[in-house]
Structure formats: C-alpha cells, structure tokens
Amino acid sequence: MSEGSFNPFNMAQHQFDAIAEQLQLDEATRDLLRNVDREFHFNIPIRMDDGSYKVFKGFRCQHNDARGPAKGGIRFHPQETIDTVKALSMWMTWKTAVVDIPLGGGKGGVICDPRNLSLREQEAICRGWIRQVAKNVGPLQDVPAPDVMTNGQHMLWMLDEYERMVGYKAPGLITGKPLGMGGSLGRTEATGYGVIYTVREALNEMNIDIKNTTASFQGFGNVSQYAIDLYTQYGGKAIAVSSWDNTDKKAYTYRKMSGLYLQELLDITNRFGEIDRNKAIELGYEVLSGDAWIEQDVDILIPAALENQVNAENVNRIAPKVKLISEGANGPTTPEADKVIYERGIWMIPDFLANAGGVTCSYFEQVQCNQNYFWTKQEVLEKLDSKMTHAYHAVSDLARERNIYMRDAAYLISVSRVAEACKLRGWV
C-alpha cells in the first residue's frame, strides 16, 4: 500500500507516458489509456459480532476492456487506497496484454484488516462488496479474483451472493474459487510458479545454471511461497525471506545461509504469510531487519510483497553480486530505482510479465468454467509454462534487439496491443 508521498497511480501514469511518447500515440489514445474507464466508490455497512455496526469503504476500478472483460483481484488491506486500486487496474491491462490473453484490466479493494475480523464479519464484507457492484461485474463484463489477504473462500461467498441476486449459476463470474466449486487445479501455484518460469528462461539466456544460484525473497504470501517451492525444486538455494509480524507491527528478514527449508517455515506461518519469529529462531534462522532482504549477497532478488519496495532510498543497497530481479509483486520498483538498476546492468523481469501467471491461470479457470470441463493439474501447468515462456521471450527478444530496458520492452508490446484494440473498435 502507499506510504507518505508515494502515489502508485502517478507512478503507473509516469511509466505509461514514457512509453506513449516512444510509440508516438495520439493525444486521444493517451488520454484514454492513462486514466481508468470507470471507478466505483461505495460503503459496505455490516453488523459486527459484538452487535455494533461498522461501515467499510470499498472500491472497484475498470481501467480498459478493449481486449476483453476487465480482470483483476480484490484486496482486503487496512491501508488500501483508490490510487492503489487505479494503478493496479492499469497494470492489469498491461499484464493481460503482454501474455496475450483476451481480457482487460480491473482491480478492487476494501479498507479492512481481515486479521482482526471474524469469518462471519469477513463473509458479510464479501457479500456487501458484491451487492454494491453486481450490475457492473459479470462473466462477460468484469471478472474479480483473490489478491492480498483474500482467498478462495472469500471468492465463493461473493459468487454465492451474486448467484442469489441474478437467479442462475454463473461460475465464470469470479476466479480463484476452491477446488470442486469451479476452481482450477494449479491456480494456487500459478503466480509464484510463473515468476520462476521467467527466472528459469532468463538464467538460460545468461548461460547460468539455476542450481548454482542463490535468491532472496521479500514477502511470504502465496506468491513467494510457491516461487520458493519451484525455485528450490529446480535446484536453486533460497537463503532469505522477509515476513510481516502482526504482533510487533513490523517486518523481519529470516536468513539461513545453508538454504531455507520451505516446509518448516510453512509449519510456523499463519494464513496471512506471517512467520512466527520465536519459532524461527528456535529453528536456527537469523532474524534481521525487515528491509535486509534487499542487501543479501545473492544472484536473484524477488520482491513479492507490495508496491514501492525498491526505491531511491534503498536501491543502492542491492549487492554487487545480484544479476537478476524478478518482480513477484505489483509495482515494487519505482522509476528512480529502475534507472539505477538499468545502469548497473541487472536484468529486470517486470511485474506485469513476471507475475502474470496468476491472471493467465485465472483465464484458464474461466475457460474451464464456461466449458464445464476441467483439466488435470499437469495440463494447466503445462499450458501456463508455455504461455509464460512465450511471453518472456517476446519481451526479451525485443529488449535485446533494441538494447532497451526489459520494462520498456514489455510496455511497448502491451500498450501497442491495447492501443490497437481501441483503434480497431473506433474508440480513438
């Protein structure tokens, strides 16, 4: 979430403006794509467990749907802002375009902290959220999904409320649902695995054996957990990971130079990705400051938490050994930090390419729901690997051909695809 003067939507617009200039987009196209098409603000009043009433603020933004229905997750977070949601909806447009799936960009959120809410209160928020946007979402209009601090159960509550309202089954309304209730095998792993598919391809291009690499991760939520899982399956050594401690209200970095053991960390982690610090110490982990993940002497850095995590204040703390950064989070690197990373020759796999595995598998879930026929996990992951690998090489080839930053190459591909769709529709 945003802190201080940092505004994620301003950053997203700044990134777009630079690419629009390179593509020489006309003024109307720029005006259309640098702003969201629609944004919804609404109140969600619910009765709390103690009998009192509380009003929660909710949002939904649809940035662009020229290439297909809007697509994007719903965050529950105490520091959620409309500017964060607008930025994420724009990044979703570029994300679906860069992997070339027929969807647009959307995002939603609620200002709340599910860590301090009962399941009944969370269910009430989910049902209240969908009641507020039911006329503006749907399988052919805007398809939500889980995001930070939301999960398959939240999505199922939302789906159930929507189906009650419309009077028919609509499993394609929302993705990230539980298995057996319209969810897809492989969806839980998809974002984290997608990050590592791109890391694998980048290392192959560098002629580096992944088995000889080390990595440091920021965040220990779904994305980071599965990224560590696949990275270590490939033979890489993860030595550090940061995690938020809700008791202390601060983050810590947990390091083990011999390599993290994923399962032992999962055994001492709650469902919000928060590692039990005292138990980690008992298991022999060094406990460092929360921002120490970025200064580890590793080959690969994977920021997989929130936006504005690699910035002008800490980018120079990146160790000389680092060769590759793959952004598991959305918007973790600011333009000021990008400049330093590019000048240092660190290979950057930008967020809307690196973490596109989630939305790609969500698209697969939609397809399966619409067909009422579901694929095996192997089929899903094979299709995901193929899609991510193809998208990575399209961006990498353009970056090398033009000798430009990977983020710029990804933007050139995605923005040009969306701009062309808008022109073909006669919007601009």
**Do 37 and 71 touch, CB atoms closer than 8 A?**
no
Residues assigned a catalytic role = 107
Tokens 């839980």 belong to residue: 188
Helix, strand, coil abundance in the chain, percent, nearest 5: 50, 20, 35
Residue ranges of the alpha helices (H) in 372-405? 377-402
Tokens 């390091």: give the residue.
Answer: 255
> How many angstroms separate the Cα of 136 from the Cα of each of 80, 131, 142, 370?
21, 10, 7, 19
330, 289, 323, 324: which is closest to 309 by C-alpha? 330
Q: How many CB atoms lie within 10 A of CB 424?
A: 9
**In angstroms, rounded to a whole number, what is the distance separating the alpha carbons of residues 171 and 160?**
9
CA distance 235 to 83: 39
Provide the 8-state DSSP code for 137. Answer: -
